[in-house]
Each structure stands twice: as C-alpha cells, then as structure tokens.
Amino acid sequence: MASRPFNIQTCARPNILKLVPYRCARDDYKDDGTNILLDANENSYGPSLPLNGDGKLDGVVFDLGLSKLNRYPDPHQIDLKKLFCNLRNRFDSEFPPLTPANLFVGVGSDECIDALLRCFCVPAKSKILTCPPTYGMYTVSAHINDLTVVPVPLDLTPGAGFPLRPDAINEALSADPDIKIVYICSPGNPTGALVHPEHVKAILDHPTWNGVLVVDEAYVDFAADGSSLAPWVPGYPNFVVMQTLSKAFGLAGIRLGVAFASPEVAQLLNNLKAPYSISSPTSILASTALKPEGLAVMQKHVSAILTQRQRLLEELSKIPGIGRFLGGIDANFLLLEVLDAPNGKPDNGTALKLYEGLAETKGIVVRFRGKEAGCNGCLRISIGTETENTKLLEKIRDCLASIHAA
C-alpha cells in the first residue's frame, strides 16, 4: 500500500492533541444497571414530570411530538424561554423582569460555556479566569478553544468554607486586559457552597474591566429560596447566569441548559448557535417540567433530597474515619474528608481506597476529589434516595473498617 501524506500529529490543532479531556467516575466504573450511582450529582428521585401510576405521562397531553418529528424543531423556543423567566422572576427584584430576550437555550450548560468562549474570546490570545476548586469543563472548553486559564483559587484556609476572593479576582482583571470571561460556580462544585452575592457585585462593579462575569447556578434549587442571581441580569450588561434542568429537575438525560444574559449578549449567543439545536422531544419534556405539575414534582423531590442531605450530615460524621464536611451544604452533594488510621488526618491514599472499594466491591460509585485544590483526602458524594443512603452508610463503615485494619 502506498504511503499516505496524512499525519494526525501535524494535521490536528496542537491544543487539541495535548487536550486533557473531562473525566468522570463512570470512565472508571460503568453503569451496569445494578450500581448505586452517587457520583455525578444527578437527582436520584427521578425526573420532575407528572407521571401516572404506570410511570407514563398522559398520552393525550404528552406525545413527545412524535407525529411531527419529520419537521425541524422550533429554532427560537420562545414558549420554553417564557417558562424559564416565570421560574426565576421575583416580584421584589430591583431590576426589570427577565423576558425571552434574555435567554440562550443550549444543549446542557456545557454548550452555554462553550458558546460564551466562542463569542468573547480570541483563540491563542484571550484568557479566562476560574476559581478552583471548580467545575472542570470551564478549563476543558477553554483549552479546546486555545485559550489560557488564569486560576484565582477560592480561599483555601482550612475551615473557611471556600469563599470567593473578589479582591484577588479584581486585581487579576486589572492587571490583564486579555481576561475576557470569569466563571464562578455557585453553589460550587465540588465545594457545595453558595457564593456571597456581595462578592459577585464587587466584580460586576470593577471600574475598568471589559469582560463577562458568568455565574453557574446548576445547583441553586438545593439552596435557600431566593438564592438565584438571575434576577440581577437585567441590571448588568456583562452579567450571565447559567442554569440547567439536569440537577433539581432530574432531567440530565435531555441535556438542556440556559444562559440568562442581557438582550445584546443573548442575541450574540443565539446568532452563533446551530439553528435547530434543541430537539422537539427535549423542548416538550423541559416545558412539561417547568409547568405547575412538573414544578410540584421537582419541589417534592428537592424536599426529599434536603431531608436525606441532613441525614447524611448527621450519620456520616459518626463513622470512624470520616472527617470534616468541607465547603457548604447548598447543593445535592457533600464534600467530606476521609482520614487515615495512624494519624487521623485527611489522606488521599485512604480516600482513593475507599472510592475504589465502594465501587468494586459494594456497587456504590461516588467521586474522588482529592486532587482538587484544598480537597486533600476528599470524596464528593451525591445525595441518594433513603434506601440508597442506608446502603451507602453501611458500606462506607464496612470499607473503612477493612482499610484501617489492613
């Protein structure tokens, strides 16, 4: 066979060749249908849809639009956007209400993250700022787009709860005009802590920075009522708030996220997206979840998760070998320390053994986070159902006892 001129090492973009992809626990442990999955912060109680006793929706009201799948979906999704606005508008807001003109709807929050980068950042020149420990896709998406990441870590002081450092962020923005986007996660992942609104305002009030501040609120519905900063969006031209239906609404499988932004920013994002990116079945499912019947299911599930979150806080702390809960309790997961036997200190080796032991011998998949800034010896555990959590508590106790006895 004749030699071919194609050489992937010289043909592909250099930043893609050296890209480190986003990884999750299921890269290590596949879902075989029997595992208890407490690794990805999904809603273990299921989707926020009004299902009947057979686990089905009323076929008259809900047919997933199957009879119209020969037609492209609605490219604008105005009705869906209205439902998102209804969800987040507050009558006591100091700013005008959100309207569909403030919305970009994407294939999960990940498309929102990437669209913002493509909109405001110049490859091989611009930079983004992140606050580790934080969601890994900000960095992955930046590297895909050939952008530099400037880290300004959260306050990593032991016991501080990972607060944002707005003064340090503003100092970095003043020093480097190439920083075009700041990504902040609130509640944080993996910290589980809300960012203080005044810290966000301090960045928005920066006197010279020409860039966009993005707050990712994927977990905001597990925090106190009124925690979302989406109502602030009409008051700040460079403020974007991202949200998703993957967490509290239990709809991770439909891949739908939104970005609330000024009409000008939202229009740019809508201009660059694929024209029919939100499928008709996805739009129908999302709309059903955002209507009163679906919201009632969501609120019921969230209430159950909060009850189980409090249970795990109380009962995990009683297990020998479990240390402090770090961060906050504003999300549907907990970040906790795993201690070694000889010294009783947080230890990555012991945490990794517990992570592997739970998955490989007990059928429970959690997330090892020990390599994240300020998270030495930590596991992140999603809140499961009452039955799942009962098994989790039992198996963690068993695993840790075996590890410490070895």
Residue 49 pLDDT: 81
Closest CA to 300 of 25, 113, 50, 28: 50
Per-chain mean pLDDT for the chain: 90
Classify residue 369: in a domain, yes or no.
yes
Residue 36 pLDDT: 85
Q: What is the pLDDT of residues 299-332, one digit of tens each?
A: 999 999 999 999 999 999 999 999 999 999 999 9
Task: Say whether both 78 and 226 belong to one domain.
Answer: yes
Classify residue 62: in a domain, yes or no.
no
Query: Vertex 365, ends 359 and 366: CA angle to 5°?
Result: 120
Task: Say whether both 198 and 299 belong to one domain.
Answer: no
Task: Say whether both 212 and 78 belong to one domain.
Answer: yes
Residue 60 pLDDT: 45
Classify residue 66: in a domain, yes or no.
no
Q: How much is the average pLDDT of 154-174?
A: 95
Classify residue 51: in a domain, yes or no.
no
Taking each helix axis from N to C end, the angle separating 108-120 and 263-272, rounded to the nearest 10 degrees, works out to 100
Q: What is the pLDDT of residues 34-76, one digit of tens each?
A: 788 888 888 888 888 877 666 666 654 556 667 778 888 888 9
CA distance 37 to 46: 13
More confident residue, 28 or 281: 281
Residue 55 pLDDT: 61
Classify residue 342: in a domain, yes or no.
yes
CB-based burial, 4-30: b 16+ in 10 Å, e otherwise: eeeeeeeeeeeeeeeeeeeeebeeebe
Task: Say whether both 187 and 202 belong to one domain.
Answer: yes
Residue 406 pLDDT: 75
CA distance 131 to 153: 5
Classify residue 284: in a domain, yes or no.
yes
pLDDT of 123 higher than 90:
yes
Amino acid letter at 31?
D
Q: What is the domain-level CATH number for residue 204?
A: 3.40.640.10
Q: Is 336 helix (H, G, I), strand (E, B) or coil?
A: strand
CA distance 351 to 323: 11
The CA R_g of the chain, rounded to the nearest whole Å, is 22
Q: What is the pLDDT of residues 84-97, one digit of tens each?
A: 999 999 988 899 99
Give me the half-sphere count of Cα atoms (radius 13 Å) on the Cβ side of residue 352: 7
Q: How much is the average pLDDT of 5-27?
A: 63
Task: Say whether both 82 and 215 belong to one domain.
Answer: yes
More confident residue, 197 or 36: 197
Task: Say whether both 161 and 231 belong to one domain.
Answer: yes
Task: Say whether both 271 and 338 belong to one domain.
Answer: no
Classify residue 406: in a domain, yes or no.
no
In terms of DSSP bridges, do strands 333-338 and 322-326 run parallel, antiparallel, or are they unpaired? antiparallel
Q: What is the domain-level CATH number for residue 310?
A: 3.90.1150.10
CA distance 297 to 51: 9
Q: 369 vs 28, 66, 101, 202, 360, CA distance in Å?
A: 14, 42, 38, 29, 18
Mark which of 260, 291, 322 sits at the end of a domain. Answer: 291
Classify residue 266: in a domain, yes or no.
yes
Mark which of 291, 320, 336 sits at the end of a domain. Answer: 291
Q: What is the pLDDT of residues 258-278, one digit of tens each?
A: 999 999 999 999 988 888 899
Task: Say whether both 42 and 106 belong to one domain.
Answer: no
CA distance 293 to 196: 32
Q: How many domains does the chain have?
A: 2
Task: Say whether both 365 and 311 belong to one domain.
Answer: yes
Question: Does residue 106 contact residue 277 with C-beta atoms inside 8 Å?
Answer: yes
In the block, residue with structure tokens 């250099």: 14
Task: Say whether both 132 and 156 belong to one domain.
Answer: yes
Full domain range(s) for residue 194 = 73-291
Task: Say whether both 184 and 235 belong to one domain.
Answer: yes
Query: Vertex 336, ends 47 and 169: CA angle to 5°?
Result: 90
Joined together, the tokens standing for residue 240 give 């974007």
Q: How much is the average pLDDT of 178-200?
A: 96
Mark which of 272, 291, 310 sits at the end of a domain. Answer: 291
**Full 3-state SS string of 305-318:** HHHHHHHHHHHHCC
Task: Say whether both 243 and 150 belong to one domain.
Answer: yes
Helices within 243-291 (DSSP H only) = 263-272, 280-290
Q: What is the pLDDT of residues 344-356, one digit of tens each?
A: 899 999 999 999 9
Question: Does residue 117 contact residue 142 with C-beta atoms inside 8 Å?
Answer: yes
Closest CA to 116 of 262, 11, 253: 262
pLDDT of 19 higher than 80:
no
Neighbouring-strand partners of residue 336: 325, 379
pLDDT band at residue 6 under the 50/70/90 scheme:
very low
- Answer whether 0.85 is exceeded by the pTM: yes
